[in-house]
């Protein structure tokens, strides 16, 4: 081989090596946060599961999220991580004889819990059922749209997360990104969920929803009072669900969940089942109560009843 050929080969090799290097860097840059990204991006990427965080780490995480959301939505955003109250087990009862199917609960929930508006995510789904058939899930209308409710011959059944005592959804999660808290509420760590949607397949009540698209929450409509495991804005590609409004109910000056508050006919009852004086404890023993899909042994803490 002549000198020239050797050199040419060398030159070629060098450029190829450079090209490969460039390709490797390019691919790496795609997978990892960009070089210019602030330290918080790295922190977010390597954040541990919420249940493994120490007190100081939680504080740091909340501060980071507050800063991020405040900048993104242009207003001061509070992110709490209030733990379950001692001696509390939440229960919920819904009066089917009162519900008029107005869907105010659906939209009250969307506003309170920062659900995506585009596409719309609803944590509550109201089913229209024919009175002559009763609770028959084979014949439900999800998209009823009359000018006036209630309609003759129909009754309405809102369905949301039943906060099961034996939840099929938490069991199947491959990374323990979802679990049942001590107050009985099933929550999701949106920063740990990998978006496999196995929990959605496992839920018998259609209570889990996926963020198919990012940025569906307009800044103006964002509710800045949030909880880490509850209504804080969700990233794209993760699963979310009803939490009985833990950002409201877990506070000492606690409020009812938004859906209870907004219901115009008082069909929704909420309280702690460990308190004998609570409304929920009044309803369960004396009304005609049933739970949905009892045969699946999910043991919901969401009860349906008929007051009349």
Partner 1 sequence: MKKVWAFLRGCFTLLKKGSKFYYAWVSFLLALMVIGTLAYINQMYSGLIVTAMRDQVSWGFYISNFTFLVGVAAAAVLLVIPAYVYQWKPIKEIAILGELLAVSAMVMCLLFVTVDIGRPDRFWHLIPKIGILNFPQSLLAWDVVVLNTYLVLNFVIAGYMLYSLYYRRQPNMKYVLPLLLFSIPAAISIHTVTAFLYNGLSARPFWNASILAPRFLASAFCSGPAFMILLFQVIRKWTNFEIKDQAIFKVAELIAYAMFINLFLLGAEVFKEYYSDTAHLAPMKYLYQGLNGHTDLVSYIWTATFFNITAFLLFLIPQTRENFVTLNIGSVLIFIGVYIEKGMGLVIPGFVPDVLGDFYEYSPTSTELLVTMGIWATGLFIYTMLLRIAIPIMNGEFYVGEDGVHPYIGDQEFLFRRGLVTEEDDLMAQ
Rule CB under 8 A: say whether 13 interacts with partner 1: no
Angle (CA) 11-14-19 rounded to 5° is: 125
Identify the residue among 13, 75, 117, 171 touching partner 1 (CB under 8 A): 171
Query: Does position 175 bind partner 1 by CB under 8 A?
Result: yes
For residue 125, state whether it binds partner 1 (rule: CB under 8 A): yes
Task: Evaluate whether 304 touches 290 at the Cβ level (below 8 Å).
Answer: yes
Contact 127, 141 (CB under 8 A): yes
Site membership for partner 1, residue 284 (CB under 8 A) = no
Question: According to the binding rule CB under 8 A, does residue 193 interact with partner 1?
Answer: yes
Q: Which of 77, 96, 203, 262 binds partner 1 (CB under 8 A)?
A: 203
**Per CB under 8 A, does 214 bind partner 1?**
yes
Q: Indicate the residue among 176 and 182 with the shorter CB distance to partner 1.
A: 176
Rounded least distance, CB 225 to partner 1, Å: 26
Q: Which of 60, 98, 197, 281 binds partner 1 (CB under 8 A)?
A: 197
For partner 1, the closer CB: 224 or 235: 235
Whether 186 and 207 have beta carbons less than 8 Å apart is answered as no
Contacts of 283 (CB under 8 A, 6+ apart): 93, 269, 289, 303, 305
3-state helix, strand and coil shares in percent for the chain, rounded to the nearest 5 = 35, 15, 50
Which region, judged by CB under 8 A, interacts with partner 1, from 148-156, 221-229, 230-238, 264-272? 230-238
Distance CA 145, CA 149 (A): 9
Distance, C-alpha 19 to centroid of its chain:
45
The residues, any chain, with a CB within 8 Å of residue 272's CB and separated by 6 or more, are 87, 88, 89, 90, 91, 183, 278, 280
- Give the residue with the Cβ less far from partner 1, 89 or 129: 129
Least distance from partner 1 to the Cβ atom of residue 9, Å:
15
Would you count residue 142 as binding partner 1 (CB under 8 A)?
yes
Q: How many CB atoms lie within 10 A of CB 106?
A: 19
Name the one range near partner 1 by CB under 8 A: 148-156, 217-225, 229-237, 280-288: 229-237
* Distances in whole angstroms, Cα of residue 18 to Cα of each of 8, 9, 11, 21: 15, 14, 11, 5
C-alpha torsion 39→192→179→112, nearest 10: 70
Of the pair 88, 94, the CB lying nearest partner 1 is at 94
The verdict on 217 binding partner 1 (CB under 8 A) reads no
Give residue for tokens 């506003």.
111
CB of 195 to partner 1, least distance (A): 2
The correct pick among 206, 218, 264, 266 for binding partner 1 (CB under 8 A) is 206
Residue 197 and residue 238 in contact, taking contact as beta carbons nearer than 8 Å: no
Stretch that binds partner 1, among 57-65, 85-93, 211-219, 258-266 (CB under 8 A): 211-219
Q: Which two tokens stand for residue 184?
A: 């009985």
Interface residues with partner 1 (CB under 8 A) are: 31, 45, 49, 52, 119, 121, 125, 127, 137-140, 142, 159, 168, 171-177, 192-198, 200-206, 208-214, 235-239, 296-297
């Amino acid at each position: 081989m002549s000198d020239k050929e050797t050199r040419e080969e060398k030159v070629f090799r060098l450029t190829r090596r450079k090209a490969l290097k460039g390709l490797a860097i390019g691919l790496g840059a795609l997978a990892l946060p960009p070089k210019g990204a602030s330290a918080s991006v790295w922190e977010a990427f390597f954040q541990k599961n919420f249940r493994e965080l120490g007190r100081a780490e939680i504080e740091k995480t909340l501060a980071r999220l507050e800063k991020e959301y405040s900048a993104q939505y242009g207003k001061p955003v509070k992110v709490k991580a209030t733990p379950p109250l001692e001696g509390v087990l939440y229960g919920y009862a819904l009066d089917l004889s009162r519900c008029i199917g107005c869907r105010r609960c659906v939209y009250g929930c969307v506003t309170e819990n920062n659900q995506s508006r585009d596409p719309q995510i609803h944590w509550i789904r109201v089913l229209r059922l024919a009175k002559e058939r009763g609770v028959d899930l084979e014949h439900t209308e999800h998209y009823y749209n009359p000018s006036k409710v209630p309609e003759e011959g129909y009754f309405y059944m809102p369905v949301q997360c039943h906060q099961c005592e034996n939840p099929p959804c938490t069991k199947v999660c491959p990374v323990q990104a979802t679990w049942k808290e001590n107050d009985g509420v099933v929550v999701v760590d949106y920063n740990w969920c990998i978006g496999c949607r196995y929990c959605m397949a496992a839920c018998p009540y259609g209570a889990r929803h996926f963020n198919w698209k990012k940025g569906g929450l307009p800044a103006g409509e964002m509710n800045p009072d949030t909880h880490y495991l509850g209504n804080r804005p969700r990233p794209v590609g993760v699963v979310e669900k009803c939490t009985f409004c833990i950002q409201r109910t877990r506070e000492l000056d606690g409020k009812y969940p938004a859906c209870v508050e907004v219901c115009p006919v008082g069909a929704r009852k909420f309280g702690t089942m460990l308190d004998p004086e609570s409304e929920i404890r009044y309803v369960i023993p004396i009304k005609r109560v049933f739970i949905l899909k009892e045969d699946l042994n999910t043991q919901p803490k969401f009860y349906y009843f008929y007051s009349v």
